[in-house]
């Protein structure tokens, strides 16, 4: 992926998905099992399955279930209701007819899962991901903010730090989404498992609520799962699927994600092109529909207040673009959370920050060389903007940066200027003793 990124000259952010405690049926030989409504299903727990039983890979299934609890197989295609639980055995009754295949997922909506959100395999995979310099880690089946903190602490103990994207796919995570977001870089609305854990009719509203909370807190949100699912098999999507993608854009999501469409589908390139076409058309033709602005809250820091003001200035002076110089990426995140009506051109000296910014709404990230003085930085930005065709001489820009330029978290300067006319900040020079 990195080599292709360099070859085509397109920065790419790589997200590594940690599996989490996914509960599955065990593998079994022979044909898939045909089930009729009313059939009794016997699930072996913590031991090999005997004749007439189906095994599971979760040794605590008999502790987490009680009589009357629902069990959903294969994303809810087969629904069971628990009849009885004894050590090593769960007996349930099928509520609908269908076919059970080996290694399909098990969901226990409404049950408290004893397994930790972060497994030993996740730990091994996280260290591997860190060694490959991935840009994001997606954490599956998060229930609370402490699950995210556990992964943060593990990475820190290994001398590394990777932005964490918790996947909101449990009912408890929905209830605690604000606390989870505050402890994370962003979040993913993982609608597949979420639509099994909670009634599916609730998912569209919950999607909107999570995106709105991400906007409020300045945290990027990814909307995922089954967006163009029919394109796994067909060259064109259904109209409902294109509407789904468009509505996620109108909700204000930062990114939309394909999964099976590109992982195992017959039309991966066509799926990406279709999604890009829907996004572009929706953004260009939304008419009176406005992207939701971040819900108002108190501005808690100088960078927040300065960024908020810069977005307003860019609007009032009808700027060609908002240009942000950022060392950590936070200035660009803050600007994007205001959903300004001008493009955000983000410049950084750090390639990892450039790649991470590909995930953020409205941001076009670029890398520039390190300079030590504010005047030099603005000259470098001016030259790059013109050389790369991002702006023309005379275009009005609003610059957002910090002085001194080498310090993170020091966004404290708004500058309105015309491209090609820069003559310096009256001798202003960075001073490390400021």
DSSP 65-96: --TT-EEEETTTTEEEEEEEEETTEEEEEESS
Provide mean pLDDT across the span 339-364: 95
**What's the confidence (pLDDT) of residue 375?**
85
**What's the confidence (pLDDT) of residue 296?**
55
Number of CB atoms found within 10 A of residue 161's CB: 10
Alpha-carbon torsion 32, 33, 36, 42, what sign? negative
Residue 195, pLDDT > 80, answer yes
Query: Three-class SS of residue 333?
Result: helix
Cβ density class 202-214: b for 16+ within 10 Å, e for less: ebeebbbebbbbb
Q: What are the structure tokens assigned to 88, written together?
A: 């090593």
Alpha-carbon torsion 224, 225, 227, 233, what sign? positive
**Which residue do the tokens 């059970």 mark?**
100
Of 117 and 53, more confident: 53
Q: pLDDT tens digit string along 375-406?
A: 888 899 999 999 999 999 999 999 998 776 65
Which of 143-152, 294-303, 389-398 shows the lowest mean pLDDT across its residues? 294-303
**What's the confidence (pLDDT) of residue 409?**
61
Residue 434, pLDDT > 50, answer no
pLDDT class for 335, splitting at 50, 70, 90?
very high
Provide mean pLDDT across the span 38-51: 95
Alpha-carbon torsion 149, 150, 156, 157, what sign? positive
Which of 125-134, 228-237, 314-323, 425-434 shows the lowest mean pLDDT across its residues? 425-434
The answer to whether 308 and 299 have CB atoms below 8 angstroms apart is yes
Provide mean pLDDT across the span 188-217: 94
**What's the confidence (pLDDT) of residue 300?**
67
Report the alpha-carbon distance of residue 106 to residue 392 in Å, rounded: 57
**What's the confidence (pLDDT) of residue 124?**
96
Of 87 and 296, more confident: 87
Provide mean pLDDT across the span 80-94: 97
Provide mean pLDDT across the span 29-40: 94
Residue 19, pLDDT > 70, answer yes
**What's the confidence (pLDDT) of residue 39?**
98
CA nearest neighbour of 411 among 423, 421, 399, 419:
399
Of 217 and 255, more confident: 255
Find the radius of gyration of the CA atoms of the chain.
25
The crossing angle, in degrees rounded to 10, of helices 239-251 and 203-217 is 30
Provide mean pLDDT across the span 219-244: 97
Q: If you average pLDDT over every residue of the chain, what do you get?
A: 91
Enumerate domains of the chain plus CATH numbers.
2-20+115-284 (3.20.20.60), 33-107 (2.40.33.10), 302-418 (3.40.1380.20)
């Amino acid at each position: 992926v990195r080599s292709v990124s360099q070859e085509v000259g397109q920065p790419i952010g790589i997200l590594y998905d940690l599996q989490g405690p996914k509960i599955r049926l065990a593998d079994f030989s022979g044909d898939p099992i045909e089930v009729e409504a009313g059939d009794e299903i016997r699930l072996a727990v913590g031991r090999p399955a005997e004749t007439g039983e189906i095994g599971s890979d979760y040794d605590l299934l008999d502790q987490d279930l009680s009589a009357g609890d629902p069990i959903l197989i294969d994303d809810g295609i087969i629904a069971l209701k628990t009849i009885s639980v004894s050590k090593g055995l769960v007996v349930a009754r099928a509520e609908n007819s269908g076919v059970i295949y080996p290694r399909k997922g098990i969901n226990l909506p409404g049950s408290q899962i004893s397994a930790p959100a972060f497994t030993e395999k996740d730990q091994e995979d996280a260290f591997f991901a860190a060694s490959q310099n991935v840009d994001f880690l997606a954490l599956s089946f998060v229930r609370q903010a402490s699950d995210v903190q556990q992964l943060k602490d593990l990475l820190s103990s290994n001398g590394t730090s990777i932005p964490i994207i918790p996947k909101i796919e449990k009912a408890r995570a929905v209830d605690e989404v604000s606390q989870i977001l505050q402890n994370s870089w962003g979040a993913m609305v993982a609608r597949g498992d979420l639509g099994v854990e909670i009634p599916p009719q609730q998912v569209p509203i919950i999607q909107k609520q999570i995106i709105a909370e991400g906007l409020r807190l300045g945290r990027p949100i990814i909307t995922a799962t089954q967006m163009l699912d029919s394109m796994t098999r067909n060259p064109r999507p259904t109209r409902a699927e294109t509407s789904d993608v468009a509505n996620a854009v109108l909700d204000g999501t930062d990114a939309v994600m394909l999964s099976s469409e590109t992982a195992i589908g017959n039309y991966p390139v066509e799926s990406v092109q279709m999604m890009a076409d829907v996004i572009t058309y929706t953004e260009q033709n939304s008419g009176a529909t406005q992207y939701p602005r971040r819900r108002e809250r108190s501005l808690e820091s100088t960078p927040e207040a300065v960024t908020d003001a810069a977005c307003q200035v860019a609007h009032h002076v009808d700027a060609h673009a908002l240009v942000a110089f950022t060392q950590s990426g936070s200035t660009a995140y803050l600007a994007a959370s205001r959903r300004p009506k001008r493009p955000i051109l983000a410049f950084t000296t750090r390639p990892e920050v450039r790649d991470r910014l590909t995930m953020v709404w409205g941001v076009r990230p670029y890398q520039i060389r390190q300079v030590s003085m504010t005047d030099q930085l603005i000259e470098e930005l001016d030259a790059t903007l013109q050389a790369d065709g991002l702006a023309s001489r005379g275009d009005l820009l609003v610059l957002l940066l910090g002085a001194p330029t080498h310090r993170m978290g020091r966004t404290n300067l708004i500058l309105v200027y015309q491209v090609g006319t820069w003559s310096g900040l009256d001798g202003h020079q960075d001073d490390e003793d400021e």
